[in-house]
Amino acid sequence: MKAGVTLPEVAGWRSVPILCLAALLLIGLLLSVMVGSFPVAPREAVRALLTGGANDPVVAVVRQIRLPRAILAGMVGAALALAGLGFQAISRNPLADPTVLGVSSGASFGVVIAMLLGLAGPFGNPAVVTLFAFAGALLAAVSVYAIAQVDGRLPITTLLLSGVIVGLFFTSCVMLITALLAANELQGVIFWLMGNLAPTGGRTLAVLALVLLIGAAVLARQAARLNLLALGEEQALQLGVEAERVKRSVFVAASLITGAAISAAGSIGFVGLIVPHAARLLLGPDNRRLIPAAALLGAAFLILADLLARIVMAPAELPVGVITSFCGAPLFVYLLRSRRGGESI
Amino acid sequence: MNTVEVKNVTFRYRTGQGVDDVTFQAAPGELLGIVGPNSAGKSTLLRLLSKVVAPERGRILIGGRDLCTLPRTALAQRVAVVPQEFHVAFPFRVAEVVLMGRYPHAGGSAWESDRDRSVAQAALEATGIPDLAARRMDELSGGERQLVSIARALAQEASILLLDEPTAHLDLRHQGIVLEILLRHHREGRGTTILVSHDLNLAAEHCDRLLLLARGRVRVLGRPEEVITEEHLVPAYGCPVTVERHPVSGRPRVQGILNQRGNHGTVSHHSPDAREAGRSE
């Protein structure tokens, strides 16, 4: 019977698209170590990545300059995509994203506070800066949700408005603090604020990797329950989901990985909006597929966006946030105008 | 196992609405209707029974076990709810939504088992919508969405089914389809069904017993012909009504009288609390 076959086809794990995304990530990684002022042929790049060599200039460029940058971009992309996915699932709205909700601004505020206290920079501990960014992100996220809540519901209009307000407020705080910073620190701050994927050292990558793993694990653990939240909180409760507990843990995890991404690479907008949307088009809204897909696609997307940012105005470099915002802003408008995104939840 | 016992339960929202000292029992195999005017506390009672809110005073027992000590997943294995409105936030497919009903059994494990899938498939067939399995929820009509909602509840395999106005937003044809599915399921399953409805005639026609609520209190509990009387309905709804017998079933049938304008309508549409109709109960 035809109907008997449709059920397993529609619902369940799908390996092929996930493997395609993994392949896309590998291609992006390879391209990003090949392209630049010193071009490297594909075979050379693979050789440099796999074997290495002591005094080989190709190996030096690929392994010490381009690969760390690509890894940073990949992890930041995955982190921002997962954060967006988490915020979207708990607010039941595809428009929620760390940038739109002002959570990124809150994290930036945390980072500049750490800078003001002299905790950031080459001698600082990236874990401490991440902690500050996390605190800022959490503060912003809690404020946005507290302001937006009306009778226990989160209407999309008030959610977006409070996101704008909280984001503007924390942006002003960032500007206030940059005004307090000494002139010699200023350039680094501005460079970081614009979104900067220049490699920052192994410790930053390690902290980001650890936080990303923790955040992804929390999200993956809650994936099935996040699906049920799409029915609304009351029905999730009636199906046996402790909705409040699920929302809280995802909320904290999403703020945490936003903080880690921002403290490592500055504010890069809209990744959390673009990537989950594309992943949803590809794989449907089931979070058990969407979480690995968004992580892979987010990594590939930001690696490729960074590649583009490096080559469009070569030898000058465009901030990667310009590319992501140029993609994200039109998508936001489209989602807002389309029936599903604009609906109040 | 399917007995529902509500003992002296009181619950109030901050707005003052709620239920006050409600006591009743639904026996296994019974179809109990909960009726009453707007803001009488009908939906509140369903939210209490499904542990969305907890009683301030009194106890609720499901199959002899106190709701307070029953874990949420264990409760969801016994009690399934068909809500008044069914909206899914993201473009899930029908099959995925019906499989969500398996959550209390799957226990949060990564993917549903083959048995979960066959139960979901059976639920789709019982509601007559196996062809919709691959459709997206946001492409469905209101009537189709309600059928998916019922299929999801059936997939839960709970012996107690709570229905909150399951036909309220449906056209005549879908009202009939939904009612038929629910009554058939009730007869075949020997479970307990509790139906909240505004529609007094629908409730009187199909329910074994009726519970009439007004202002959060139980006004009367009994067989439809004992409850659907002028004596009980006039004070509960605050408007004049006429009660007659259905020519075929012999069950009571009621009509509200709008004396000011002289035209007729059903009671549920002209209750004195109509100004409060927009508020949730």
Domain regions of chain B by residue span: 4-271
pLDDT in tens, B10-66: 999 888 889 999 999 999 989 999 999 988 899 899 999 999 999 999 999 999 999
A196 compared with B90, residue with greater pLDDT: B90
Closest partner CB to B111 (pick from A9, A13, A280): A13
**CB pairs < 8 Å spanning A and B:** 115
* Helical residues (DSSP H) of chain A, grouped into ranges: 2-10, 15-34, 42-50, 57-59, 67-91, 103-116, 126-148, 156-180, 183-193, 202-221, 223-229, 233-238, 243-265, 271-283, 287-311, 320-337, 339-342
B97 has a chain A CB within 8 A of its CB: yes
Whether residue A315 has a cis bond before it, omega within 30° of 0: yes
Q: Which residues in B123-136 are b (16+ Cβ under 10 Å) and which e?
A: bbebbebbebbbbb
> Contact A3/B130, CB-based, under 8 Å?
yes
CA distance A328 to chain B (A): 19
> Contact B72/A235, CB-based, under 8 Å?
no
**Conformation bin of residue A267: beta by default, left when phi > 0, alpha when psi is -120 to 50:** beta
Query: How far is CA A55 from each of CA A30, A52, A59, A61, A234, rounded to the nearest angstrom?
Result: 21, 9, 8, 11, 64
> Contact A3/B131, CB-based, under 8 Å?
yes
pLDDT in tens, B2-18: 899 999 999 998 888 89
Check residue B271 and give its pLDDT: 43
* Cβ–Cβ under 8 Å, residues A165 and A145: no
CA pair distance A35, A45, nearest whole angstrom: 10
Residues in A touching B83 (Cβ below 8 Å): 234-235, 238
Best residue in B100, B105, B194 for a mutation probing chain A (most A CBs within 10 Å): B100
> Contact B111/A12, CB-based, under 8 Å?
yes
In chain A the domains, ranked by start, together with CATH numbers, are: 92-342 (1.10.3470.10)
> Contact B90/A230, CB-based, under 8 Å?
yes
Chain A residue with the nearest C-alpha to that of B108: A224
B225 has a chain A CB within 8 A of its CB: no
* Cβ–Cβ under 8 Å, residues A170 and A140: yes
Among the residue ranges A158-167, A286-295, B221-230, B252-261, the one predicted with the least confidence is B252-261
Task: Say whether pLDDT at B277 is over 50.
Answer: no
Q: pLDDT over 90 for what percent of chain B?
A: 54
* Cβ–Cβ under 8 Å, residues B51 and B228: no
Q: Tell me the mean pLDDT in the region A202-221.
A: 93
ipTM of the complex: 0.87
Check residue A322 and give its pLDDT: 87
pLDDT in tens, B117-162: 999 999 999 999 999 999 999 899 888 999 999 999 999 999 999 9
Chain B residue with the nearest C-alpha to that of A343: B89
A342 compared with A283, residue with greater pLDDT: A283
Check residue B24 and give its pLDDT: 95
For residue A324, give the amino acid letter. T
Note which residues in 137-156 of chain B have CB less than 8 A from chain A.
138, 156
Check residue B273 and give its pLDDT: 44
If one counts every other C-beta atom within 10 angstroms of the C-beta of residue A166, the result is 25
- pLDDT band of residue A5 (cuts 50, 70, 90) is very low
Closest partner CB to A6 (pick from B74, B92, B133): B133
- pLDDT band of residue A343 (cuts 50, 70, 90) is very low
Residue B87, token pair as written in the block: 């909206």
Assigned fold of B4-271: Rossmann fold (3.40.50)
* Cβ–Cβ under 8 Å, residues A204 and A278: no
Residues in A touching B70 (Cβ below 8 Å): none
Closest partner CB to B100 (pick from A92, A223, A239): A239
- Sequence-ordered list of residues with C-beta below 8 angstroms from that of A50, at least 6 positions apart, any chain: none
CA distance A246 to chain B (A): 12
B67 has a chain A CB within 8 A of its CB: no
Closest partner CB to A240 (pick from B73, B109, B125): B73
Task: Say whether pLDDT at B269 is over 80.
Answer: no
pLDDT in tens, A198-208: 877 888 899 99
CA B129: distance to chain centroid?
Answer: 21
Check residue A9 and give its pLDDT: 67
pLDDT in tens, A257-297: 999 999 999 889 889 999 999 999 999 999 999 999 999 99
Nearest alpha-carbon partner for B245 in B255, B237, B234? B255
> pTM of this prediction?
0.89
pLDDT in tens, A17-75: 899 999 999 999 999 999 888 888 888 888 888 887 767 888 888 888 899 999 999 99
pLDDT in tens, A222-268: 999 999 999 999 999 999 999 989 998 999 999 999 999 999 998 89
Check residue A230 and give its pLDDT: 94
Check residue B108 and give its pLDDT: 63
Residue A4, token pair as written in the block: 């008997």
Residues in B touching A10 (Cβ below 8 Å): 93-96, 133-134
B33 has a chain A CB within 8 A of its CB: no
Closest partner CB to B51 (pick from A92, A230, A237): A237
CA pair distance A27, A195, nearest whole angstrom: 23
Check residue A335 and give its pLDDT: 78
Task: Say whether pLDDT at B270 is over 70.
Answer: no
